[in-house]
A and B are shown apart, each in its own frame.
Chain A
């Protein structure tokens, strides 16, 4: 059982949790993720770790309610617990002084990119952070992004905040303005990462993407998260989650991520129809578990 010590809404359907997980807090490095399970009948889902506090023994995660598990998780508050959390998993980001590093992050991807941005800045990079969101209410962590970067651009689809347009528009603008870019990190929806790769690959700019493939165990045991890099198969959980964007087959990734879409939709629908009941049930189960293990 992993107690939630802080929970707050940071954007539309986006919530930040600080959770007690001392082993993970001690070891976590930028770019790594954890896997959690909410209850006995719950699924295991991977979530990137935003930050950790080794002294307090806590990790911070940011969750966008998309499917059943993330929706249920976002109903929890400080004082509630998460049944299982394991990590930190995956290889940490490779941090070097590249020169000028551009980070493109979409909404909740901002949380995932923040620790790497921080580390890149501390290593001496000039960090340009381009944060994208559908609209103002999904722009998150603006202050923290400012701290972690040297330049910041916010792009919204509807123009309700920052500039109107996609993050790739800003990337193209920077390139058109003759800015020298040595390194790019893109974290977000697959089409966004693919679009970034299509811009930077022909220019030979080293570009890393953080892949969100479907996982079960997160230790390399099942191979469900395999992604195609050129002709080679890699496991996102142990070989990644960060990969050289120019090698990633994004079509295969998109297709594999759609594998359980019907099931996910039905599961979410059932949850939304019985939301209160499901949350109450989860709390009851966690209370029993708590009593059982003292």
Chain B
């Protein structure tokens, strides 16, 4: 094995350390903000090969690479970067695929600043190696070359696994399990595969064609897919195991139900959950208004506010901008420092003219006599003592109420567990919030043969954490199918 993993000689970095550290981080070319805030084309254009090569040179190849430790799926980043430096981009892509079946996606949507790049030692004095951009570069290079480094599958084990949900957790588990020689079938409730990658994350951040390509790669590896199946309704977990003879089930259904604010006026026309707004625009392509049938509120020359501070809220407000909103305002009850959204998206949002109203909270929606939204009564907030998760708690400032005019208000403050599977699988234990209880290492649930991971266990998190859960589950499922021990 040591022989196989050895890097080619050309990969040994020959520039002296000091010289390498002087190189500036490669700039990611992006579409002009004025242009892109009126269309849905991808914002980041991707690194050129020369830039990727230079960027790879910056890596000082730490003995204990923090980037690898901080990666939720454990991509061998140091080796990948060395292969890029050697100019063998296809080998770099293949190396990445050993741990990450969706590199073109994670290269685009991971919060690298909190993960791989957050750990990079170069970041202590200057800018970390642009690992996310390099990941995206090799994945795109591989796709465009048409020479895919798909890993080979082990001989068939005769076992089969049902995966519920085709989002990042499900796809990631599917890729790992099919390689181990198991038959894998993924069930998806919607008509299109990809889960949050297609209904949630907008085209300008993650083009749907890329998701489709990654799904097709899994298909080429032998993964079966069935759309239009709502597990818990169309078929239950017990029926999958008893009638369809699956030896194991992995529940990766995602976060589920949108949370509303619970304030008066949330039924006015124009108030959306971020899930609905984004699903209409992304999955149903409502931005191509006359070509596609599913409508979305016509935002042109209207005032749109989006409530929340995470990626979903930022995606929604940038989407509203692109739909022609006169003003697109992000309303968040804490300050910008507490925003969970990915740093690059916040930067891009600012460039696109999104207005940030931090420390502001809507307490009531106002509408006209026909039921259409006209505004939100908001109250200003200040930060108080830290709460359970360490973030300072926002507290209302008395007497600071004011009305923010709005024709559309989009609520992106999180989700709660979808109960469809839990309510039809009596022996599946859930916690007090109705999320499925699963062991954090083995992803085993209370029900023999059933594993769960991703947002349906943790609550709303990130694509990469869901993928990490999918990988863990796959390893654990493989163990269970091999030994038969629970």
Contact = CB atoms under 8 A, between A and B. Distances in A.
Contact of B293 (A23, A69, A222): A69
B284 interface: yes
Interface string B346-376: 0000000000000000000000001100000
Interface residues of A, number: 43
B332 to A, nearest CB: 20
A223 B255 CA distance: 13
Given A44-B191, A88-B233, A259-B297, 8 more contacts: A42-B293, A44-B294, A217-B190, A219-B189, A220-B420, A221-B279, A238-B420, A260-B295
Interface of B: 189-191, 199, 227-230, 233-235, 256-258, 260, 266-267, 269, 272-273, 275-276, 279-280, 284-285, 290-295, 297-298, 370-371, 418-420
B258 A86 contact: no
B234 A87 contact: yes
A220 B419 CA distance: 9
Interface stretch (A130-138, A204-212, A250-258): A250-258
A255 B286 CA distance: 21
A223 B229 contact: no
A255 B371 contact: yes
Given A69-B293, A216-B276, A264-B295, A233 B235 contact: no
B257 A223 contact: yes
Contacts of A42: 292-294
Nearest to A271: B293
A289 to B, nearest CB: 12
A224 interface: yes
A23 B234 contact: yes
A68 interface: yes
Nearest to A228: B267
Given A223-B273, A223-B275, A86 B420 contact: no
A221 B420 contact: no
B313 to A, nearest CB: 15
A8 interface: no
Interface of A: 23-24, 26-27, 37, 41-44, 68-69, 83-89, 216-224, 226, 228, 233, 235, 238, 249, 252, 255-256, 258-260, 263-264, 267, 270
The dominant DSSP class at the B interface is loop
A50 to B, nearest CB: 18
Contact of A221 (B228, B293, B418): B418
A256 B280 CA distance: 16
Contact of A27 (B234, B291, B298): B234
B233 A87 contact: yes
Contacts of B258: 221-223
A249 B279 CA distance: 26
Given A235-B257, A238-B420, A85 B228 contact: yes
Given A43-B294, A256-B371, A24 B276 contact: no
The dominant DSSP class at the A interface is mixed
A259 B275 CA distance: 17
A220 B294 contact: no
A217 B293 CA distance: 15
B370 A255 contact: yes
Contact of A219 (B191, B230, B235): B230
B372 to A, nearest CB: 8
Contacts of B189: 86, 217, 219
Contacts of A87: 230, 233-234
Given A43-B284, A221-B279, A264-B295, A86 B371 contact: no
Nearest to B255: A221
Which of B227, B233, B297, B371 has most A Cβ within 10 Å?
Answer: B233
A61 to B, nearest CB: 15
27 contacts: A23-B229, A27-B235, A42-B293, A43-B293, A84-B227, A86-B191, A87-B230, A88-B233, A88-B234, A216-B276, A216-B280, A217-B189, A218-B230, A219-B233, A221-B257, A222-B258, A222-B279, A223-B273, A224-B272, A228-B267, A238-B419, A252-B267, A252-B371, A256-B269, A258-B371, A259-B269, A260-B295
Given A216-B284, A233-B266, A235-B257, A222 B273 contact: yes
B233 A89 contact: yes
Contacts of B235: 23, 26-27
A256 B228 contact: no
A41 B291 contact: yes
Given A217-B189, A267-B293, A222 B275 contact: yes
Contacts of A228: 267
B275 A89 contact: no
B280 A89 contact: no
Contacts of B290: 270
B228 A86 contact: yes
A89 B190 CA distance: 13
A221 B260 contact: no
B281 to A, nearest CB: 11
A222 B281 CA distance: 12
A264 B233 CA distance: 30
Contacts of B420: 219-220, 238
A21 B256 CA distance: 25
A68 B275 contact: no
Contacts of B295: 43, 260, 263-264, 267
